[in-house]
Amino acid sequence: MSTKSLFANRLFKPLEEFERLHREFDRLFSADPTLKVRRHGLPALNAWVSEDSAVVESEIPGIKTEDLDISVHGRRLTITGKRESEEGNYLRRERESGEFRRQIELPFAVNAETVEASYDNGVLKVNLPRAESDKPRAIPINHAD
């Protein structure tokens, strides 16, 4: 919150500004604590696994898909990208911008060729089918009598 914003308002009413500040602080301290993950610039991820595949989701609004890179190597998924910020005179700035990078380790190897990703309404969804070579196989036990 810059002091510039207090004076930019032509109808500067001291008491109203103090009330407003009080409300802003209230809002700051009552915000959901899980928001902290986002405030630190790393996009938060949710992941699910089944026997055959994994699904990874992340909320990264306002990204151009050409600024997003998803790569897979063995069990590791890497998501890198950047969010550009608008030029202008900011009265309030809460949204993060800049580069980000997340790497996660999956419980099985994934075939890069079968990975699918979609980006809708600012949510990235990555579908990662398990690699054939990493699927459990029944091992016959040789039993000598």
Strand order in the sheet with 98-105: 68-73, 76-83, 98-105
Residues contributing to the site for other proteins (CB under 8 A)? 8-11, 20, 27, 30-32, 34-35, 37-38, 44-51, 54-55, 59-63, 85-86, 88-96, 104, 106-107, 119, 121-123
User: Smallest gap, in angstroms, from Cβ of residue 29 to other proteins?
Assistant: 9
Beta strand 123-129 with 53-59: parallel, antiparallel or unpaired? antiparallel
Instruction: Give the rounded distance of the alpha carbon of 13 from its chain centre.
Output: 40
Nearer to other proteins, 4 or 73 (CB): 4
Nearer to other proteins, 25 or 31 (CB): 31
Nearer to other proteins, 33 or 140 (CB): 33
Q: How far does the chain reach from its first CA to its final CA, in angstroms?
A: 81
